[in-house]
Amino acid sequence: MNPRDTPPRRFGGHSDRIRWLIALGWCASLFAGAATFSSPGVSAAAGNQCATSARIVARTGSGFIMWNGKETGGVASRFTGAVLTAGQHFYELHGQAVKITFGGDTYSLGGNAVFDLGCSGLAAGQPAVMPRIALLVGSATVNTTHVVEGSVSTEESLLGQAPHSAATSYTVVRQLSQHSPLTLSEKIIWYESLANQPAGVTNVKTLTGVLANVTPYVGPGPGHCRQVHSARLVTTSSFGHGTAEYHF
């Protein structure tokens, strides 16, 4: 769970872990939230509420999308629609990459990504109205606008553009430490934000002259933002234990 999260909309989760993260101190420039969604809107982030859906505008590859959660009765099911929604479920890419428009920004997701939709804000205490993808594994290339500053969260970090900067692009790749395929139990542990999630490595790199904003959960000074050209963050054991390398 990210240290800037509002009360979770997921099925459960460990409140002790949330309190531990909050004790780290909130990053002054970006926070992530699993907001409670109440009204639809693909581009709502450009206004004063969180976008609750994302539209698929391109698909690459002969694979398919699965989704799993409350809405599917806890059974992984083939997803065939064109609009992804925020709710009590997550999505999995199988041999297919997708490009989505989410809250005014564009996300290109690949690498058999496992992800869900949420929100982030520009500062602690501000409304969570910016789009945010939570990424268990896979890749995301984000194209932002000046108005909408979309982010990506992983077990190791919360990632976005330098706050209030010009429109930019950055890429995030999260790889798992394990070599065996993810089990359903491991996906649920991630989704519910429980402790002992699948460990891994997060790499972020800006694709323009605008720096990427990194809020690390591992390494020295967790919870304190860095603005960098690239970074590599590694979970070496349990949550919050790992290393971070930055290139300024």
**Domain boundaries along the sequence of the chain:** 15-247
- 7 has a pLDDT exceeding 60: no
What is the pLDDT averaged over residues 215-242?
95
pLDDT number for residue 197: 87
Please tell me the chain's helix, strand, coil percentages from 3-state DSSP, rounded to the nearest 5.
10, 45, 45
Contact 48, 127 (CB under 8 A): yes
pLDDT number for residue 81: 96
Measured in whole angstroms, how far is the alpha carbon of residue 69 from the centre of its chain? 17
Cα 178 to Cα 157, 204, 207: the distances in Å are 19, 20, 28
- 16 has a pLDDT exceeding 60: no
Confidence band for 153, pLDDT divided at 50, 70 and 90: very high
- Three-state secondary-structure class, residue 46: helix
> Whole-angstrom Cα distance, residue 85 to residue 108?
16
pTM of the entire structure? 0.85
Residue 148 tokens read as 């909408």
